[in-house]
Amino acid sequence: MLYLALAAAPGHTTCLAARPPSAAALAQAVDHPPAGWPPALPVIHTAGTLPHTGIHDQSAAAVRDFGYMLDLALAWRDSRDAAVLARLASYLDAWLPRYRPSFQPIDETSLGSLIVAYRLTAADLPLATARRSRAFIETLAEGYLQQMEAHRGDTHGIWSDNWQSHRIKLATLAAGALDDPALFARARATFVAQLSVNLKPDGEVLDFGERDALHYVVYDLEPLVLAAAVAQGRGEDWLHLPGAEGQTLARALDWLLPYALGQHSHEEFRKTRVRFDLQRAEAGLPGYAGPWDPQGARNLYWPASLLDPRYASVARQLAATPSRMLWAYAPACQG
């Protein structure tokens, strides 16, 4: 069987049972850009806004470019097609001179795909594009790390809830892409601090108590699991790294597992304390009322299975294949 393996330190490789994207699938993705030309924006903003308000729709359309950049990078890695690399460079050159980081992690979480696209192609990009991209990613890493370090111990929600998890994801992806041990050590410290304030010892996340929604359990854990997968590629075990009271990411994943397997059910957002959740339900957006759909965890347990193979069966139950982000960290191996 063909497998995927997380790119790892020597002697530390983890495989999961899934087929990588075929050359035909990647070519199909590359041949269908989100728009005729990159709709680069100076700022993107969707957080806390409903569709058709402000620049929500414009931003939601524009950030599809970042996923497309990742498709281009994956296609380049497999084909070494110079035209594919040139198109990726043109997208980076369109976005990076114009975009100015807001350091709002929900607005910018999709930049993770841009960071990984750079990681896969840095050695081959045109020199000016590579330098501009590296400088941009360094700015992101420093900005998010400085924010988190300045607010260490702050109990205000956005410094301990899912926003913080997305900051940690971006900082960890950036530190890994830059291969910067000092930045990575700072990212690790923020990860441990988040475990200490975001998780209860039994694995329940802060966001569940605030939102009464498994949607936000997943949204909180996904970025932390991806950060842990990047760390594993550097030979570090963040799945079992303990917080101040022994909290671990593994325990949080296990807390959610009976719901993901369909053994338990949950009515979403019934007791939420957040007005925006109610506004989204009133607007008829799917998922903000009624029973939680375990498919909401389809992008959580695949990366978790890289960290512990016990999660492989639930990963396969929820989705046949992992996300494109994992393909970037998981070259094929035989087993």
Per the CB < 8 A criterion, the answer to whether 300 and 255 are in contact is no
* Whether residue 139 sits in one domain with residue 54: yes
pLDDT at 199 over 80: yes
* Whether residue 99 sits in one domain with residue 235: no
* Whether residue 316 sits in one domain with residue 235: yes
Task: Pinpoint the alpha helices (H) of 38-126.
Answer: 56-62, 64-79, 82-95, 105-108, 111-121
* Whether residue 270 sits in one domain with residue 162: yes
Please classify residue 321 by burial: count the beta carbons closer than 10 Å to its beta carbon, then call 0-12 exposed, 13-18 middle and 19+ buried. middle
What does the pLDDT look like over 211-234, one tens digit per residue? 999 999 999 999 999 999 999 999
Distance (Å, whole) CA 205 – CA 99: 33
Average of per-residue pLDDT values in the chain: 92
Is 32 part of a structural domain of the chain? no
What does the pLDDT look like over 157-186, one tens digit per residue? 899 999 999 999 999 999 999 999 999 999
CA distances from 48 to 55, 64, 270, 280 (A): 12, 19, 19, 10
In the chain, the amino acid numbered 13 is: T
Distance between start and end Cα atoms, the chain: 6
In 3-state terms, what secondary structure has residue 49?
A: coil
Is 188 part of a structural domain of the chain? yes
Structure tokens at 168: 């940690």
pLDDT at 1 over 60: no
For the chain, the domain total comes to: 2
Q: Which of 113, 223, 126 is nearest to 177 (CA)?
A: 113
* Whether residue 80 sits in one domain with residue 8: no
Of 107, 126, 143, the last residue of a domain is 143
* Whether residue 174 sits in one domain with residue 139: no
Report the chain's C-alpha Rg in angstroms. 19
* Whether residue 99 sits in one domain with residue 173: no
* Whether residue 307 sits in one domain with residue 168: yes
What is residue 10's predicted lDDT score, i.e. its pLDDT? 32
Per the CB < 8 A criterion, the answer to whether 252 and 203 are in contact is yes
Higher local confidence (pLDDT), 106 or 306: 106
Of 124, 143, 162, the last residue of a domain is 143
Distance (Å, whole) CA 153 – CA 149: 9
* Whether residue 295 sits in one domain with residue 199: yes
* Whether residue 239 sits in one domain with residue 322: yes
Structure tokens at 76: 């380049």
H/E segment holding residue 334:
strand 332-334
What is residue 330's predicted lDDT score, i.e. its pLDDT? 64
Is 29 part of a structural domain of the chain? no
Of 143, 161, 183, the last residue of a domain is 143
Is 281 part of a structural domain of the chain? yes
Portion of the chain with pLDDT greater than 90, in percent? 83
To 10 degrees, what angle do helices 82-95 and 111-121 make?
A: 140
Q: To which residue do tokens 């393909």 refer?
A: 327
Domain that holds residue 257: 1-18+151-335
Strands 15-16 and 332-334: unpaired
> Which residues is 267 bridged to in the sheet?
291
Distance (Å, whole) CA 156 – CA 106: 16
What does the pLDDT look like over 5-47, one tens digit per residue? 333 333 344 665 677 788 888 899 999 999 888 999 999 999 9
What does the pLDDT look like over 58-117, one tens digit per residue? 999 999 999 999 999 999 999 999 999 999 999 999 999 999 999 999 999 999 999 999
Is 268 part of a structural domain of the chain? yes
Is 129 part of a structural domain of the chain? yes
Is 322 part of a structural domain of the chain? yes
CA distances from 28 to 42, 60, 71, 118 (A): 29, 22, 10, 21
